[in-house]
Amino acid sequence: MMRALIMMIALASGLVVVFLTYPTSDDGRAEAVVVDEQPEILMQEVLVASVTIEQGEILGTQNIRWQKWPEAAVHEGFVTRDSRPEAIDDIAGTTIRGRLFPGEPVREDRLTASNTSYMASLLPAGKRAVAVKVSAESAAGGFILPNDRVDVLLTRQREGQGGVHTRTILRSVKILAIDQLADGAESDTLVGRTATLELDAEQTETITSAEASGMLSLALRSMTDPHDTEVVSLPEPEPVAALPEIVLTQTEPEREATTIRIRRAVTVETVTLP
């Protein structure tokens, strides 16, 4: 009897649980659950870096691969399988301008032919690479690294005066390399002997003339400063004051008067010669 009572209580409890968990509307009918179908995301295969690729490194099957990418996020500069199905074989042997991280897309405008020199591949059209002598004192103690922006200062003796004069001749110039290092990402400080600057034709003439007339120093700029380069014209040489005209004339030294005595018979005559 007791066992039957326990089973009846358990059955009643189960019915209550089912009733409480079964969704119903106010009129007692079950509510239908409507699931919105998500739109399908169209994908394309994009060429990306499979490992970290350093600036100037040669591309090949060992460091690039295809990866699916949302079609709406594909930039026109990306290399896609639809447009270039043989891209991996086509660009093998080319070098990359700038560092790529794993999964980062390869861009057409960052590829350089393998027969192009490394520094020439870093230069934009119309730019020149000019090396200037630097030291720890003239290059912010070694804290100037590739891709930094600097002002170039010229220090030279004053013409015809004592002391020295310093002025800025170039502003917001990009550093391409310090000695042979063209990527300063792995270095905190670098004390080099030469700094390679990215200049245009006019700036090249300015800095070449300045280096021949005095000592150059580099002043590191903040990364938040605007990057518009500016050329400051060199000061014209200060005129040297004209020396007073000196006319030299030769004068004969004054002679002392000479006195002689002339004796005639018994008389003596004194004569003074000029």
Q: Could you report the per-residue pLDDT of 61-94, keeping only the tens digit for each?
A: 888 999 999 988 888 889 898 888 888 888 888 8
Instruction: With beta carbons less than 8 A apart as the criterion, state whether 128 and 201 touch.
Output: yes
β-bridge mates for residue 269, sequence order: 262
216: its two tokens: 């150059």
- Under 8 Å CB-to-CB from 55, ≥6 apart: which residues? 96, 97, 98, 99, 182, 183
Q: How high is the pLDDT of residue 24?
A: 54
Residue with tokens 């990402």: 185
3-13 burial code (b ≥16 CB/10 A, e <16): eeeeeeeeeee
CB contact set of 29 (below 8 Å; sequence gap of 6+) = none
- Cα separation, 52 vs 172, in Å, equals 30
CA distance 112 to 200: 21
pLDDT at 111: 81
> Over the chain, what is the mean pLDDT?
75
pLDDT of residue 239: 47
Q: What is the pLDDT of residues 44-56, one digit of tens each?
A: 999 999 999 887 7
Lowest-pLDDT range of 91-105, 137-151, 228-242: 228-242
Place of tokens 């960052």: 110
Both tokens of 12, joined, read: 């009643």
Does residue 250 register a pLDDT over 70? no
